[in-house]
A = this chain, B = another copy of it.
Amino acid sequence: MTEPINPVRNQLIEELKKSGFKNEQIIAAEESRACYGYDATRQCADPMLVLLPENGHQVEIALQLAAKKQLKIFPRGAASGMSGGAIPSDDGIVLSLTRMKRILEIDQENMIATVEPGVITGELQEEVSRLGLFYPPDPASLSFSTIGGNVAENAGGPRAVKYGVTANYVMGLEAVLVNGEVIKTGNKCIKSVSGYDLTSLLVGSEGTLAVITKILLKLLPAPEAVKTSLLAFPSMTAAALAINAMFKNQIAPSTIEFLDHHSINAVREGLPFTLPEEADTVLLVEIDGTSASVLAQSQKLKELFKDDALLMIEAQNESEREQLWIARRRLSPAIANIAPHKINEDIAVPRAAIPTVITRLEKLSEKVSLPIVCFGHAGDGNIHVNVMLDKNDPEQALRGHQAIDEIFAITLDLGGTLSGEHGIGNTKSAYFDKEWSPATIATMQAVKQAFDPENRLNPGKIFP
């Protein structure tokens, strides 16, 4: 079936070409547009038009033309987001920033990288590591996600315990407002208190306030050494006590990942080491820094838990380190064996609330008769909660949704938040007013209106 002619689209294409857009930067064919309508949530949409700008000036042009015609704009990176933040509407224009992928500068003296939003995060990390520098944020998607997407969603990762999240590394931005005007925020100064912190406001705003076209990122000196250990404990409470003991004893791990007993059972077979039967919770702990401090902290770790841990393995080299990570890496595919589908959320709670949240989720699992598998970032309280079910069974699907409602209720009751690193997008917006008061939401909406009075920039995200 041929698509009906869309005069708005046709006119826009003409104007874009007149303004210097090349044919291959304008995607109008139905079958090609489809490639820009999905994201990692498996939602699909069919945007009216897709543009692939190659520089900030073309982003300005696109936004100016869209403003004239009052069209909606949906910025997009690699679309690896887990909350629907990149899903367009059928009457919207997708602005895919994947062609803006230049590393513009690595300023070694100031330890700051200036990059375009389409740079793949992992590639940036490799590039700076060749210079002895380090960009710490490590979302699981880093080998394919873009730094622009990371900034828009304020991506986290296992290293957040010690190094924080993307927001902690963004020193400045260049962004195009919905009317096509350019703003610059921040600078290369470590201290800067001149006016409002628009940088932090744009980070994590999920593409709803402006289109980011340039990013200044703080870098660190690469750590000299890293040491990875796997520890097994007989209960989540014992593991949580162990984590607190680490912090109290000046051990500052870069990573503390955990696997609950469902997760352990899912990956136990075929591990390159033997987990004791009684192991209920496994912690994967990484310590990095200067060689001296890594050595001292690792020794302290061993002393601290020589009695309490059921098992403690310390990797002696890179290949042993990889072996310890196998359990964590195999998790996502392995839990697929528990049930055909999963609904996964990335709640976060204050770190000390982890044992309580796990206990309450176990009770919930019994109540809804669905397995709930938990793993994730124990060091920072960010838990990946997976409700395992068969979505084709309507009765299970219903219980699954009931479980999600209760998971959020438990999380908020414990002082937690709907999302630790995935963002709200369109998948969690219905729960947004459970977390924030009407006055707080109204304030956020007033900020949105200040930036985007016609609600044309990534509409339908965050707010209920």
Contact = CB atoms under 8 A, between A and B. Distances in A.
Interface of A: 107, 109-112, 132, 153-154, 156, 160-161, 165, 167-168, 177, 181-185, 187-198, 200-201, 203-205, 209, 221, 223-224, 244, 247-248, 250, 252, 289-293, 295-297, 348-352, 377, 379-382, 415-424, 428, 432, 435-437, 439-441, 443-444, 446-451, 462
A161 B189 CA distance: 11
A355 B274 CA distance: 58
B348 A191 contact: yes
A198 B444 contact: yes
A444 B196 contact: yes
Contact of A183 (B111, B188, B192, B439): B439
Given A183-B440, A221-B247, A296-B293, A190 B177 contact: no
A334 to B, nearest CB: 24
Given A204-B196, A352-B110, A177 B444 contact: no
Nearest to A179: B439
A132 B191 contact: no
A381 B154 contact: no
A153 B444 contact: no
A197 B224 CA distance: 33
21 contacts: A107-B350, A112-B350, A183-B439, A185-B440, A188-B350, A189-B381, A189-B382, A189-B420, A190-B348, A193-B422, A194-B432, A195-B432, A195-B462, A196-B462, A197-B200, A221-B250, A221-B252, A291-B296, A292-B292, A293-B293, A293-B296
Given A296-B290, A449-B450, A195 B424 contact: yes
A350 B291 CA distance: 29
Contacts of A194: 417-419, 423-424, 428, 432, 435-436
